[in-house]
A and B are shown apart, each in its own frame.
Chain A
Amino acid sequence: MVTVLLDSSNTNLSVGVARDNLLLDYVSYEAWQRQSEFMIVELNKLLEKHNIAKEEIKEVIVAKGPGSYTGVRIAITIAKTIAVALDAKLYAVSSLRVQKDGAVPSICVINARSGRSYVGVYQDQEIIVNDCIMKNDEVLNYLNEHPDYVLCGEAAYLGKEGKQTNNLQEMLNLKDSLESINPLSLKPVYMKD
């Protein structure tokens, strides 16, 4: 059973394939504004490299946001299409949650621009703070108040170094805690409206 993993919710493009719940191979690189050009190409390369026939794809896991307006929509559109075309199960997970550092309490951030951040705080299976938008100084205050928490994600815009975790592996880890979703009802999470 093959699982396809897709995340383009921030400036990165991440594409992975798993077989029987083991992450087989993946690519992840910065591709701001060009994720739509590369996502399908990278997926095809991975399928070819590992001799995977499309019919073997039984599951798709996608990061559903919050994050970049266009970025979130790219991975979701492709994930929905695969799920419908191949009758594969679709799972959607918070793009903040997939950045968490395993069982360590993690403050996951994505730059929401205009001095704001998307923030979610997670520990293991537990949600400490639901995904939300915070002003950057509020994030920094929260960070100071919780010195034992780990900052996760691309955090240079906060003047901090965030821990980079393997978002695709985390997606795979979270799958069992998720319900599969009807591709026609999946909507991107966009918190700015």
Chain B
Amino acid sequence: MEFQITTKSAEETMQLGARFVALCKPGSTFCLTGDLGAGKTTLVRGIAKALNIKSVVQSPTFNIMKVYFDGNKPLIHIDAYRLADLDTDIGLDEYIGYETGITVIEWPEFIRNLIPENAIEVNITHVKDDMRNIKIISNDKELMEGLK
């Protein structure tokens, strides 16, 4: 199933993140794609805010993974960009889909073999100024109905 939404500001993009939190099941994995500056991290900040996480959320481009424990449930934020062309196991599979948390993965194409089948694909494209087109693909009926 596919659903598209246009957001007109960073705040609206963050609100979409909050709706993801309200609608998704525990252990959900979100795969975020979009160019640099498209708003992937903004969306993750929306998810973090909805989980009452007070820490500042930044893309873990250097660290590869950051786990936030200070909210209602753990938020696992992975940026796989630096794993491109690296065929090495660093144990990420233990975090992706972690039962009680929410996992968000940027640059999922670099760890395709670790992405669960039921992952929710989110593609963000820059339209103009602060306007973004966000496409969500998922087989989770409740999530997709809820978003409409």
Contact = CB atoms under 8 A, between A and B. Distances in A.
Interface of A: 33-34, 68-70, 113-114, 190, 192-193
B91 A68 contact: yes
The prevalent SS among residues of A at the interface is loop
Interface in B13-29: none
Contacts of A69: 89-91, 94
A192 B69 contact: no
Interface string B87-117: 0011101110000000000000000000000
A115 to B, nearest CB: 11
The prevalent SS among residues of B at the interface is loop
A193 B93 contact: no
Contacts of B95: 33
Given A68-B94, A69-B94, A70-B94, A193 B89 contact: yes
Contacts, number: 20
A192 B93 CA distance: 11
A113 B89 contact: no
Contacts of B67: 33
Interface of B: 67, 69, 74, 89-91, 93-95
Contacts of A33: 67, 69, 74, 95
Chain A to chain B: the 6 pairs with minimum beta-carbon distance, closest first? A69-B91, A33-B67, A70-B91, A113-B93, A68-B94, A113-B94
B89 A192 contact: yes
A68 B98 CA distance: 13
Contacts of A113: 93-94
Nearest to A72: B91
Nearest to A11: B94
